[in-house]
Structure 1
Amino acid sequence: MSLIKRGGAVAFAVACGVVAGCSGSDTAADGDIVKLNFLTFADPAQLKVYQRAVDAFHELHGDEIQVELTGLSTDNYTQTLTTRLQGSEGPDIYYVQDFSMATFVQGEAALPLDDFLEGPDSYVKKDDFPDEIWGPTQKDGVTYALVPDANPFVMYYNKDVFEEVGVKLPQEYYDEGNWTWDTLEEITSTFKEAGKEGYVQDGGPFGVNTWIYNNGGSVEKDGEVVIDSDPKTIEAIEFVNQMVQDGNFVFSGSLPQGQGRDAMFMSNQVAMVGAGRWLTPLFLESNKEFDYIPWPTNTGEQMEPTLVTSAYLAVNSDTDYPEEAMKFISYYVSAEGQEVRLADNGNSVPSIAGLEHVVTDNPEPEHAQYLLDAIEIGQPIVFEFETPGLSNELEDIYEIMFLGDITAEEAINRLGDKAREMTEE
């Protein structure tokens, strides 16, 4: 089951207001240390990256504010977070997965941040970020979460698998101007014949939109759903589905329980996976021989836009210490906080301009510049995430298509009908 799917089960409960309420502007008594709980989804390697900023914040404010960071598995993270927010164990500060942000805003689970950001205690201002980065964190002109960093999609390739099977590295194809969908189909066929998986394909917008954007397609244009009418979009969906049906790609939703892309990559079972920078710390710790490559194209251009994802940082509307919590998250996403976290092979790309060096200084893997190239032209998912539950419904359709229960044509028609139904209500 892919990332998008896991967030949808709790949408109705949150949207109905089960996570509402605000404690006002309580602060600790003079001399007391405020203790804040901070919840995120992360593997152990990513958690070490987040802890860097917590430690740096403690150096500045540890005698007045202490932050305890806890990491959960991505599996069922949103459901677990919602359960805690409903009860008495809700964190003061929490990461929100992009596909569930609109649901948490609608359910009043996150405090408005604009007034604090304009005040003297904030380490960052809204103007420090590009306008297009906010996505579903804003509603009716109000900001409910901050954007700590961003992740443009690139392909990771396992050099050991390429060498074992005797396939040229993607960088060689790219340098020749031949890193295309046709080349990808050819080499993944070779991996299949050798008993390896060529590429792990996710369902839902999270897995498919990169192919759509990369082919010059769109899910919607000017407020109109075009997923079932735009030729470039249809071509991309049909291509990805054909790769899955032919066995060139393996659908992540069909993998055995507990067997994910990262484990398959590290055990040399798969040649390529698509992701942002978040897999980098884990692969480096595992001493994998890998590198990045831009997405293969089908347009004649060497590089086209891919998906840019973000997770967001919010303050629980029921925290006892809203001012202290906002102060921490403003530091965490500030230029200083991002540099502390993302230098030395962090797990994301900065969301504030001027910090590009944290990606390219002493880069590992070699072609870290491709992350910056991708974010320069990348596209976030906005339309599917603005309507609570829509991305989950679309994923259901993609899933049954990839499992072979419906054709690509049937899936495309259903995708268009469902998107219009839910956004026109």
Structure 2
Amino acid sequence: MPIFTNPAGGRPISRRTFLAASAVAGVGSSALLSGCANGSAGGTSAEGGKGGSGGKGGTVTWASWANPGEAERFRQISKDYEKAYGTKADFQVVVGDYGAKLLTQLAGGSAPDVFYVQDVAMQRLIQSKNLMDFTDFTSKPESPLKLDSLYPNLMEWCKPADGSPGTYGLVVDCNPIVFWFNKDMAAAAGITENPAQRHENGTWNRDALDDFLTKIKATGKRGMVLEGGFGPLFSWMTAFGGKTVEGRNAVFNEDAKSMETLEWIWEGLAAGKITYSGTLPKGQGVDALFYGQQLASCQMGRWILPNLKKLKFGYDIAPFASEDGKSVASTIVYTAAMGVNAKAKDPEAAMYFATRFVNKDGQKARLSGGGNAVPATAGLDDVVTEGNLPEHGGWFADVAKAGYAIPPAIASKATVGANLGTEMDKSIKAGDNAKTFADKICTFINNGS
């Protein structure tokens, strides 16, 4: 899948579009969504006769960001859905600045009935009353989805930041970042126990990671690249027992364990054991370096698996190194959600489409057979162990269960979400030490809106 730079949220757009791509990657069209054809019975028609009994009939329009290939596959989803339920489903691709165009459509009354919602956009849409609350619909016996079937640790950003009741988005699926590594490069560097073996033995801690990076550096190759954005940096802090946020405030500048981790990263940068992605030569992306065996590890999600399958070197994953060396560390899990327009023309049809799209059957249909994302619901671990690629793919599910989505301190502040990566990049490139960096970034987050 192509990688396009997108500063929103401080990470490449591929990490926003992995959910879109994973919805259909490697899946036969005839299977798509049909697994839940019998998932609802009974029910009542929406007001005014719209929709059909039990979620059949009616009309729904839905939208997401997508490249041409993804858009074509999403249109196939619509065809499959219509065949299964008699509901006319029309997919619309939003090209360009997705968030801005969606807001324009909502303001003008031309927005689709159902649409993907970016993590940094959710709170604005909730506050402007543009989204329907899923609580009542999903509590009905005939609902294809119950809210508690989705991992609760990934759903907080879909609720109002002020603590009021309601759930306004459904996590579509997810992508936890893990420690991908090149087994061949590790062996060539004299590493007798690779990160996966270390984790299995309960010794995958900071000392083991430091040993990995030191030995790789001695070979003249790169061991690890710290990517921009809050996700990887927050993940290392929380992996080693630190606290990054408390409510709507960032606190890592005052947290001893977080600062200890930042100091360790800054020392690694100075020693050349870690490279900051913002200093890489133009055209040298982290994924490309990993694919080209110039980088021994990368901290990414399952979205790189389709590309890795085409390559001829040994690769595997481990959770992030942890404080005790044996726990599955709590790290960032990238998510997007499905929302329903508060002014949907056919509310019942829209609700049924959204809940079927993200329920267990919907996720299994979308992610099986080579998908590049991870289920956000229990009971689908077999999806990430298909073909035994990577060898320890089952850990994707463990990391998803233990991790966290975008923190409230960022999700609740649109300007922070949009500009945080830029602020972090400026501080690192300015040569700020770890404490100055932490103070600057915490101040930016806490004073932002």
Q: Does the TM-score normalized on the shorter chain lie above 0.5? A: yes
SS at match of 2:172: coil
Amino acid at match of 1:39: S
Whole-angstrom distance in 2 between the partners of 1:135 and 1:267: 38
Moved more, 390-399 or 79-88: 79-88
Moved more, 287-296 or 333-342: 287-296
Q: CA deviation at 1:57?
A: 2.9
Whole-angstrom distance in 2 between the partners of 1:280 and 1:88: 39
Q: CA deviation at 1:223?
A: 6.7
Q: Equivalences for 1:193-212 in 2 at 5 Å?
A: 193-212=218-237
SS at match of 2:252: coil
Q: Equivalences for 1:141-156 in 2 at 5 Å?
A: 141-156=165-180
Q: 1:305 to 1:37 in 2, by over 3 A?
A: closer
Q: 1:336 to 1:109 in 2, by over 3 A?
A: same
Q: Deviations over 1:129-188 (max 9, x none)?
A: 344432121122122111122333311113354456565533344455443323333433
Q: Is the 8 A contact 1:52 1:340 kept in 2?
A: no
Amino acid at match of 1:388: A
Whole-angstrom distance in 1 between the partners of 2:94 and 2:291: 22
Q: 1:32 to 1:214 in 2, by over 3 A?
A: closer
Structure 1 match to 2:433: 407
Whole-angstrom distance in 1 between the partners of 2:132 and 2:310: 37
Aligned to 1:311, which of 323, 336, 356? 336
Q: CA deviation at 1:26?
A: 9.4
Q: Deviations over 1:273-319 (max 9, x none)?
A: 11232332343355664211121234454543222332111134455
Structure 1 match to 2:266: 241
- Normalising by structure 1, report the TM-score: 0.79
Q: Deviations over 1:224-253 (max 9, x none)?
A: 653221101111222223333433233233
Q: Is the 8 A contact 2:144 2:356 kept in 1?
A: yes
Structure 2 match to 1:13: none
Moved more, 344-353 or 156-165: 156-165
Aligned to 1:386, which of 377, 395, 412? 412
Q: 1:43 to 1:254 in 2, by over 3 A?
A: farther
Amino acid at match of 1:122: S
Whole-angstrom distance in 2 between the partners of 1:163 and 1:300: 20
Amino acid at match of 2:9: I
Whole-angstrom distance in 2 between the partners of 1:80 and 1:248: 42
Whole-angstrom distance in 2 between the partners of 1:280 and 1:287: 13
Whole-angstrom distance in 2 between the partners of 1:287 and 1:109: 48
Q: Is the 8 A contact 1:315 1:325 kept in 2?
A: yes
Whole-angstrom distance in 2 between the partners of 1:397 and 1:303: 30
Alignment of 1:182 with 2:186, yes or no, is no
Aligned to 2:305, which of 277, 280, 284? 280
Structure 1: where are the runs of 5+ without partners? Answer: 8-23
Q: CA deviation at 1:321?
A: 4.0
Q: Is the 8 A contact 2:177 2:301 kept in 1?
A: yes
Structure 2 match to 1:65: 88
SS at match of 2:173: coil
Amino acid at match of 2:176: P
Q: Is the 8 A contact 1:26 1:320 kept in 2?
A: no
Q: CA deviation at 1:413?
A: 1.7
Aligned to 1:136, which of 157, 162, 170? 157
Q: Is the 8 A contact 1:42 1:71 kept in 2?
A: no
Q: Is the 8 A contact 1:202 1:252 kept in 2?
A: yes
Q: CA deviation at 1:81?
A: 4.8
Q: 1:255 to 1:293 in 2, by over 3 A?
A: same
Q: Is the 8 A contact 1:154 1:371 kept in 2?
A: yes
Structure 2 match to 1:398: 424
Q: CA deviation at 1:328?
A: 1.3
Aligned residue pair count: 403
Structure 2 match to 1:12: none
Q: Is the 8 A contact 2:58 2:346 kept in 1?
A: no
Structure 2 match to 1:267: 292
Q: Is the 8 A contact 2:131 2:341 kept in 1?
A: yes
Whole-angstrom distance in 2 between the partners of 1:132 and 1:344: 26
